[in-house]
Amino acid sequence: MENIRLAARNVIKTAKLGELDTLGDSIGYGSEFISLQYLWTNVSAHLTQDTHGSVVNENLLLTRVLLKNHPQGVPLEEDDKNSARAIYTWLAQISLPSSEFATSLEANYSANGGKESGLSATLEAQQFTYTLAISCTKYLNGILSILEVTNPEEVFTTILSFTSPHDPWTTSTSVQDALEVLHSCMEPERRPKCWHILERVCESRLRPIFAKTKNPAITASGRKNLHPLPQPRFDGSLFDPETKPWKYKDVYATTVLEWILAQYSSSDINRLEIQFHFYVPPILSLIDDESSSFKYRGCSLLIKFLTPIRASESDLLKRTNLSSVFDDALTPCLLSLPTITPEDEALRLLGVAYPALLLTLKTCYHIDRDAKPGQPGKNEDAKNVYITRITTLLRENVISSFHHVSSYSPTSAIEETSSLASFPYPRLSTFFLDQLKTLIQELGIHTTKYLQEIVPVIYTTLSNPFGTAFAPLLLAGIATTQAVILNAHPRIWRYRGDLLAAICQCWINVVRDEVDMKDPEQKLQLRKVLLKLQGAVYLLKLSMQGASSTEMKGEESLNSIGMIDEDASMNNGIQALVESDEQLKELLQIDIGVDLDDDYFFK
């Protein structure tokens, strides 16, 4: 044993994290059988107060080598089992992520989910120790299952802390080892016992951590507080680190919660309905935090929480009145826009906040996932409430946010009333067009009532002469156009002039710029835009065929673009456009051989 320790001591002096898999190869082990009791006796004699020093790493490397070479499947004596449990406890204590990673944790989740490029020497040393300890736990689990530990909550909490590759204390090796251990625990024959332990982790470890963050919107049982006490205008405790140990001290708590929530499926709905009070306070605490990185994690956890509830068609949100609580918590997240919020940060947060809110509404009102547009639910009252909330989201958030991030500037000094969207944040503008398309599909035929607000957004996007600089923006605009035509076709003829003008202007701009485009990728994107424009024209023609001449009589027609008489038909109008500009022929005369399921033309 001492020879092995001496060899481990020499290796650890020059050891590097990337060499962990081969770290023990230079340590001569021999064929001598060393029991777990003897191993723990030796290790416990060399324990030190320094949990991340060379002596600790020496103990860990020694333990790793012996556990890796220990025969598996061999019945253990009771003394060996007790020693294994003691080793589990020791490994859990020295590998629980420390509060020193708090700053790096927030930085990681603020940078599009990527990991911070560099850590301090102290944090790198801790990271190395953690990786060794989790590796030891993996090998020990092969000898004596982690489920056999007397008090497994502490060990499970530590293992669960290493399940996210985005956390600064993890490495690819530690994440892989931790997930391997947990996968073995969640096997069908072990799953019930594992769920029991996870419930105890939530009760004894997670609940006290989040209990200090008070939320007046919910009761102690996790339900909506129907009689909340009035709150002071300014609450100084919001900025007190002591009220948020999950953010400044117990940094692993959110990761543990994230993995546990991801294990629920629709078949576990009974268990989730019993245990939901463990998860609601942490989710709301994260969403209400002032940091967008923790808001992002809160929204992600909410999606994981709601997914099995929706899949099982449970009425948990209605029984607990939590739908409005989640709605109220998520709505402020939708205001995270430039210039106060940087574009990258806004995209990341909004990209999860909108889906979380939509999932909340669908889960509450039992909106049928397979329903046709305009028929979102079976219950008429629930359907009407759902449509009302989606309409508010469309008008007050998506469209208004689109206009906010797409600033306007005068097109000329002479005509100052004319304006042109400059799209200083093209990715955000594209994002809001995608959300607009999604909400249009949810509204279905109800979209007809809001065409006067939706069509200007489409026109502004497609007619912009600089749109070819960012092709995804044009593609999102065309996809929204097609969604509008498909869902509001009974009334789309009223806006045929605006839509056709925008489509034609976009076609002319793309054809003009495609010739001079040198980048093959951008050229390919513009060619895709042209095909989608043809698809939009085809759909517009189909919608016009459904409009009767009596409906169109006396209404504005393509005269709005100064091309044809008011009483002219759609076909005559298109013919006039082709005659006035030959390059529109390929766009407007798309009639034959188009398949509505063809991805080339439709999106």
- Whether 27 and 95 share a structural domain: yes
How large is the average pLDDT for residues 21-27? 60
Percentage of residues of the chain with pLDDT beyond 70:
83
| Nearest CA among 480, 587, 490, 584 for reference residue 544 | 490
pLDDT higher than threshold 90 for residue 327: yes
- 596 confidence band (pLDDT: 50, 70, 90): low
- Identify whether the C-beta of residue 568 lies closer than 8 Å to the C-beta of residue 576: yes
The pLDDT tens digits for 221-230 are 888 888 787 7
* 413: exposed, middle or buried (Cβ count in 10 Å: 0-12, 13-18, 19+): exposed
- Whether 110 and 257 share a structural domain: no
- Whether 151 and 294 share a structural domain: no
pLDDT higher than threshold 70 for residue 372: no
Number of domains in the chain: 3
Last residue of a domain, one of 278, 305, 321: 321
Instruction: Please indicate, yes or no, if residue 406 is contained in any of the structural domains.
Output: no
- 447 confidence band (pLDDT: 50, 70, 90): very high
Residue 472's φ and ψ, nearest 5 degrees, are -55, -30
- Whether 574 and 445 share a structural domain: yes
Instruction: Please indicate, yes or no, if residue 352 is contained in any of the structural domains.
Output: no
- 415 confidence band (pLDDT: 50, 70, 90): very low
- Which of 112-126, 189-203, 313-327, 432-446 shows the lowest mean pLDDT across its residues? 112-126
Instruction: Please indicate, yes or no, if residue 377 is contained in any of the structural domains.
Output: no
Among 248-257, 491-500, 549-558, the range of highest mean pLDDT: 248-257
Report which of residues 577 and 557 the model is more confident about: 577
Report which of residues 561 and 80 the model is more confident about: 80
How large is the average pLDDT for residues 159-183? 96
- Whether 145 and 6 share a structural domain: yes
Instruction: Please indicate, yes or no, if residue 123 is contained in any of the structural domains.
Output: yes
- Whether 173 and 31 share a structural domain: yes
- 74 confidence band (pLDDT: 50, 70, 90): confident
- Whether 462 and 505 share a structural domain: yes
- Whether 463 and 534 share a structural domain: yes
Say what the pLDDT of residue 553 is.
46
Instruction: Please indicate, yes or no, if residue 422 is contained in any of the structural domains.
Output: no
pLDDT higher than threshold 90 for residue 463: yes
- Whether 548 and 466 share a structural domain: yes
- 367 confidence band (pLDDT: 50, 70, 90): confident
281/285 Cα distance (integer angstroms): 6
pLDDT higher than threshold 90 for residue 32: no
Identity (one letter) of the amino acid at 181?
V
**Is the pTM for the entire model greater than 0.85?**
yes
User: In sequence order, what are the residues at sequence separation of 6 or more whose Cβ sits closer than 8 angstroms to the Cβ of residue 101?
Assistant: 123, 126, 167, 168, 169, 251
Token digits of residue 261: 């929530």
Say what the pLDDT of residue 86 is.
95
How large is the average pLDDT for residues 161-183? 95
- Whether 181 and 245 share a structural domain: no
- 557 confidence band (pLDDT: 50, 70, 90): very low
Q: What is the DSSP letter of 249?
A: T
Report which of residues 567 and 73 the model is more confident about: 73
Please give the residue range of the domain that contains residue 60. 2-185
- Whether 40 and 121 share a structural domain: yes
Say what the pLDDT of residue 25 is.
58
- Please tell me whether residue 324 adopts helix, strand or coil conformation: helix
Say what the pLDDT of residue 558 is.
41
How large is the average pLDDT for residues 28-52? 78
pLDDT higher than threshold 50 for residue 270: yes
- 591 confidence band (pLDDT: 50, 70, 90): low
Say what the pLDDT of residue 384 is.
92
How large is the average pLDDT for residues 10-38? 69
Chain centroid, CA 492 distance in Å:
34
Report which of residues 125 and 551 the model is more confident about: 125
| Nearest CA among 470, 394, 464, 463 for reference residue 432 | 394
> Average pLDDT over the chain, rounded to whole?
85
Report which of residues 576 and 218 the model is more confident about: 218
- Identify whether the C-beta of residue 40 lies closer than 8 Å to the C-beta of residue 86: yes
pLDDT higher than threshold 70 for residue 454: yes
pLDDT higher than threshold 90 for residue 237: no
User: In sequence order, what are the residues at sequence separation of 6 or more whose Cβ sits closer than 8 angstroms to the Cβ of residue 539?
Assistant: 482, 485, 486, 602
CA-angle at 284, arms to 278 and 290, nearest 5°: 140
Instruction: Please indicate, yes or no, if residue 176 is contained in any of the structural domains.
Output: yes
182/193 Cα distance (integer angstroms): 12
Say what the pLDDT of residue 568 is.
47
pLDDT higher than threshold 70 for residue 411: no
Report which of residues 14 and 5 the model is more confident about: 5
- DSSP string across 141-184: HHHS-GGG-SSTHHHHHHHHTT--TTSTT--HHHHHHHHHHHHH
Last residue of a domain, one of 321, 339, 368: 321
How large is the average pLDDT for residues 127-149? 94
136/66 Cα distance (integer angstroms): 9
pLDDT higher than threshold 80 for residue 53: no
Instruction: Please indicate, yes or no, if residue 179 is contained in any of the structural domains.
Output: yes
Say what the pLDDT of residue 585 is.
86
Cis peptide before 339 (omega within 30 of 0): yes
- Whether 245 and 171 share a structural domain: no
pLDDT higher than threshold 70 for residue 572: yes
User: In sequence order, what are the residues at sequence separation of 6 or more whose Cβ sits closer than 8 angstroms to the Cβ of residue 575?
Assistant: none
Last residue of a domain, one of 301, 321, 341: 321
Instruction: Please indicate, yes or no, if residue 462 is contained in any of the structural domains.
Output: yes
Report which of residues 237 and 63 the model is more confident about: 63
The pLDDT tens digits for 479-515 are 999 999 999 998 998 898 899 999 999 999 999 998 8
- DSSP string across 186-217: TSTTTHHHHHHHHHHHIIIIIHHHHHTS--TT
Which secondary structure element, helix H or strand E, spans residue 40, and what is its range? Answer: helix 36-44
How large is the average pLDDT for residues 324-335? 96
- Identify whether the C-beta of residue 166 lies closer than 8 Å to the C-beta of residue 109: yes
